[in-house]
Amino acid sequence: MAREEDAATCMIREIREEAGIDVMSMRLRGTVNWTNFGPKGEDWLGFVYLIDGFSGEPFSRNEEGRLSWVSLADLPKLPMWEGDRYFLPLVFDDDPRLFHGYMPYDRERPLSWSFVRM
């Protein structure tokens, strides 16, 4: 996130840069606090949005690889951070409340997962 951006503006910019689409509508679904994350043991706070409206034609790839649509049923089959598997179901469920999660890491592996909904 750039210093002059709020979290929502950053999300809109990142999606435009990485996927080539313009966000028309999105909802904050929750936050995740990762502690002792990665090789430097950093503490990160993430804002998790669900984009439910966009315009434009998505890129077929970017510098990170191929981009494609997948069904929600196939989402668990994709490669992802181990910890993402804990909170992704909360992004797509029918509960309208925000989730606020805590996931301490031992560098590369999550140690536990807890969350509250408000």
Ordered by where they begin, the domains of the chain are 7-117 (3.90.79.10)
103's tokens: 């996931």
pLDDT tens across the length of the chain (118 residues) = 778 899 999 999 999 999 999 999 999 999 999 999 988 999 999 999 999 999 999 999 999 899 999 999 999 999 998 999 999 999 999 999 999 999 999 978 999 999 999 9
Where do we find the tokens 């929750």? 30
Q: Is 101 exposed, middle or buried (0-12, 13-18, 19+ CB in 10 A)?
A: buried
Q: pTM for the full model?
A: 0.90
Residues near 46 by Cβ (< 8 Å), separated by ≥ 6? 31, 32, 33, 34
Which pLDDT value is given to residue 39? 84
Residues 1, 106: Cα–Cα separation, whole Å: 24
Q: What phi, psi does 90 have (nearest 5°)?
A: -70, -25
6's tokens: 């709020």
Which pLDDT value is given to residue 3? 80
Which pLDDT value is given to residue 84? 95
